Structures are given as structure tokens and as C-alpha cells.
Amino acid sequence: MKQLLLPFQRWSPFSAAPATQLVKRSRMMEYDQPLVWVTMILMLFGMVMVYSASISLPDSPKYANYKNAHFLIRQAMFVSVSILAAIFTFRIPLAVWQKLAPYLFVGTLILLMAVLIPGLGKGVNGAKRWLSFKVFNLQPSELMKLFMVLYAADYTVRKQEYMHKLTKGFVPMLLAVGVVGLLLLLEPDMGAFGVIVCIAMGILFLGGINGVWFGGIAVTLVGIFSMIILFSPWRRERIFAYLNPWEEQNALGKAYQLSHSLIAFGRGELFGVGLGASVEKLHYLPEAHTDFLLAVIGEELGFAGVLVVVLLFYWILKRAFEIGRQAIALEQTFAGLTAKGIGIWIGVQAFINMGVNLGLLPTKGLTLPLMSYGGSGVMINCVGLAILLRVDYENRVLMRGGRV
């Protein structure tokens, strides 16, 4: 009797097999529930803060036709669709992702090119980063973050014997990342380019690339980013403004967002001014519901609220590396590198967004994963974490002596 009840006790939407298949149920493992709950907490917390940060936007002429709950309703729709996408993604074996990785990478490259074609790409605030499908806007750079993880992991596995050689091991990946970087800089989207470079370099490093070459290339990349900033007047002005945000000219110009973000954190102090009581979101802090959501959290919930967010993201990063190490120990190299790559992606993007909000890094247009307003970002984050859950699931199956 207990054997008949056990499969039904363990069934969930994240199960990799239908509940009616008794044979597969005997092999089915429990999924990583804490990872699911942490992800859900971040998304639901994000919805609350998006609503708080955007509730006053209809007071401005730009959003005059919107209702107060417009962004909350749309974010709830994004989260709901993202959860469904995650459930579907979880049921796809890692072997399928490995086979599809090169094709997904090339397909996303084509989408990045399409963004730059007049009439296809949609521009917002001077940047063309979206493809408009009327019902929703797709941001190909978000897709590229995930597919770069899969492509770099697959490339490292395929080229394992050449990882200590420059021409056969690193140069092909360098060319691939270079093409992606060129397309992103034409949008421009230097923030996404930085995240993608960190993903590719991180996976290559974990995959065993020659340490001397890795160090040399890292220095070269720093030089390239420095040259991009040096020869781009508006980027250079933004750096100077970041270094002295309180100078009147900077505070009213390039450092306007940064200065008001810092004011928000200052007002929040230890426990904040109270949920919904932010002053900076009242048309002082631009993009409060997207890039600067953490500043609103800091103002309304204080240091305590920000610390909770930081710890939740740290937990996801730590768990991703634990899952990756377990997969590699089970000789599932692609799965292990994919898990660690997803951890690098979420961790780096969260760190950059938090650094920008806190004035530790120059201002960049990167959202806070899982929390900031936006459909493409939330969905791809959920899909990436569903793949991480799948890696953990396959680890558990293998440790029980099963097959995936």
C-alpha cells in the first residue's frame, strides 16, 4: 500500500514523468524544493516592489493612459507565463539541450542582427534592443545570455583535448564572443556584452583552459573595454560623472540616476521608510521599476530588505555551483558546466545591477534578475533556473543508480 501511495506523494509540476507511469515513478526523484521556493520568493517579492515603484507613474504625461496597476498586472502575466515555460523546460533532458546548443546560439545571432534592421528593431531611449511582436517585445540579448551558457559548455566538452591550445581551443570561442559583442555594441548594450563575456570566460576557465592564456586574454579584454570607453564620448562622460556624482553638473546630468539612487538608500537607513512610502519613485528616480528597483527596496525596506535580496541571490549562486560540482563528479561534464554557467550568469548580472544601484559600478542598463519589470528577462531567468533544476534532477537519478 505504501508503494502505491509514494509516487502520488512525490508528484509535482516539475516531475520529469507523468504520474500514470508506474515504472518511471519508481525512479523519480524529488526536485530541489528550496531552489524553487527561493526563485518564487524573489519573483513574488519583485512583483510587490514593481507595483510599489510604478504605482505613481500614471501621474506623468508619458504614462498618462496607464492605470496604477498596469505594470503589476503585466508583471504578473510575465511571471505566470515564465513559470509555465520553466515547467516545460524542466522536462527536457540535458542531452537534448547539448545537441541544440550550437543551433540555438546561431539562431539568436540572427535575432541580434534582426534588431539592427530598420523597421524590425524597436528603439527605446536611443537603444535598439527589442523585436516587437505587438503582443510582447523580445530582447534577443536576454536569450543570448542563456544560450551562451549552453554553447560554451558544449564547446568546452567537444574541444576538451584542445583546451590548452590557443588556435584550436580558444580562438574559435573568441571569434564567436567577438561577433556577439560587435552586435551588442551596435545596439548599444555594453552591459549585456559584459555579462556574456563573463559567462564565456568563466565556463572556459572551469573547463580547463590554459591559465597563462586565460590571464593574458583577461588583460586584453580589460584593455578592449577601456578603449571602448575612451573612444566613446558619452561613455567617457558617464564614467567621469560616476567618479563625482555630487558635482552639480553631473547630478543634473549623467549622474542623475546614480545620485537619486544613493539618496534613496540614504533615506532607507536600517529598516526603511515603509513599504510604499518611497519619495524617490515619485518621478525623481528614472526607471525605478526596472534598472533601479533595488534603490526602491533600499528606501522602503532599508538595509534589512537589501540584505535579504543579496542573501537570496548568494544562495542561488552557491547552489548552482554545488549542483555543478556534483554533476562533474558523476562525469556529466556538460551538465556540470551548464549549472555553473547559469550560476555565473545570475550572479554576475545581479552583482552588476546591485553595484550600479549602490554606486560601486558605473551606471549600466541591466535589470535585477527575476525581480525587475520585464517579460524577456524574467522568462529567460526562469528557463535557465529550470535547466539548473533539471541538472540536479538528473544528478539524483544517477546517484540512485538510474539512467537519464
Q: Which DSSP string do the residues of 118-143 spell out, in sequence order? A: TTTEEEETTEEEEEE-SS-EE-HHHH
Find the range with the poorest average confidence among 44-48, 92-96, 225-229: 225-229
User: Of 382, 404, 381, 375, which is closest to residue 132 (Cα–Cα)?
Assistant: 375
pLDDT on residue 41: 97
pLDDT at 314 over 70: yes
Q: Residue 126 — pLDDT band, cuts 50, 70, 90?
A: low
Q: Give domain status of residue 87, yes or no.
A: yes
Find the range with the poorest average confidence among 235-239, 290-294, 305-309: 235-239
Q: How many CB atoms lie within 10 A of CB 195?
A: 26
The residue type found at 294 is L
- Higher local confidence (pLDDT), 145 or 187: 145
Which residues make Cβ contacts (< 8 Å) with residue 72, sequence separation at least 6? 47, 50, 51, 54
pLDDT at 23 over 50: no
Q: Which three cell numbers stand for residue 222?
A: 580589460
Q: How many CB atoms lie within 10 A of CB 202?
A: 20
Which residue segment(s) compose the domain that 175 sits in?
Answer: 30-399
pLDDT at 349 over 90: yes
User: Of 27, 60, 94, which is closest to residue 281 (Cα–Cα)?
Assistant: 60
Find the range with the poorest average confidence among 42-56, 158-172, 292-306, 367-381: 158-172
In Å, what is the CA distance from 2 to each residue of 5, 6, 7, 8, 261? 5, 6, 9, 10, 57
Q: Give domain status of residue 25, yes or no.
A: no
> Above pLDDT 90, what percent of the chain?
58
Which residue shows C-alpha cell 547630478? 251
State the DSSP string of 149-194.
Answer: HHHHHHHHHHTGGGTT-IIIIIHHHHHHHHHHHHHHHHTT-HHHHH
State how many domains the chain has.
Answer: 1
Q: Residue 4 — pLDDT band, cuts 50, 70, 90?
A: very low
- Higher local confidence (pLDDT), 32 or 404: 32
Q: Which three cell numbers stand for residue 388?
A: 539548473
Report the distance separating Cα 139 and Cα 123, nearest Å.
11
> 320 near 339, Cβ under 8 Å?
yes
- My answer on whether omega of the bond before 172 falls inside 30° of 0, hence cis, is no
Q: Give domain status of residue 21, yes or no.
A: no
Q: Residue 131 — pLDDT band, cuts 50, 70, 90?
A: confident
Which residues make Cβ contacts (< 8 Å) with residue 316, sequence separation at least 6? 35, 38, 39, 343, 346, 347, 385
pLDDT on residue 21: 40
Q: Give domain status of residue 344, yes or no.
A: yes
pLDDT at 351 over 80: yes
Report the distance separating Cα 403 and Cα 381, nearest Å.
28
pLDDT on residue 335: 97
pLDDT on residue 17: 46
Find the range with the poorest average confidence among 121-125, 202-206, 231-235, 266-270: 121-125
Report the distance separating Cα 129 and Cα 79, nearest Å.
21
- The C-alpha torsion from 197 through 199 and 204 to 208, rounded to 10°, is 140
pLDDT on residue 2: 39
User: Of 42, 58, 53, which is closest to residue 276 (Cα–Cα)?
Assistant: 53
pLDDT in tens, 359-397: 998 888 789 999 999 888 999 999 999 999 999 999 999
Q: Give domain status of residue 16, yes or no.
A: no
Cα four-point dihedral sign 70, 75, 303, 254: negative
Q: Residue 191 — pLDDT band, cuts 50, 70, 90?
A: confident
Q: Give domain status of residue 404, yes or no.
A: no
Average pLDDT over residues 210-218: 72
pLDDT at 62 over 90: no
pLDDT at 330 over 90: yes
Q: Give domain status of residue 118, yes or no.
A: yes
pLDDT on residue 3: 40
Average pLDDT over residues 50-59: 94
pLDDT on residue 278: 95
pLDDT on residue 217: 74
- The C-alpha torsion from 107 through 185 and 253 to 124, rounded to 10°, is -30
Count Cβ neighbours within 10 Å for each residue of 313-330 and write b for 16 or more, e otherwise.
beebbebbbbbbebbbeb
Average pLDDT over residues 46-74: 92
For residue 210, count CB atoms less than 10 angstroms from its CB and return exposed for 0-12, middle for 13-18, buried for 19 or more.
middle
Q: Give domain status of residue 4, yes or no.
A: no
The residue type found at 247 is E
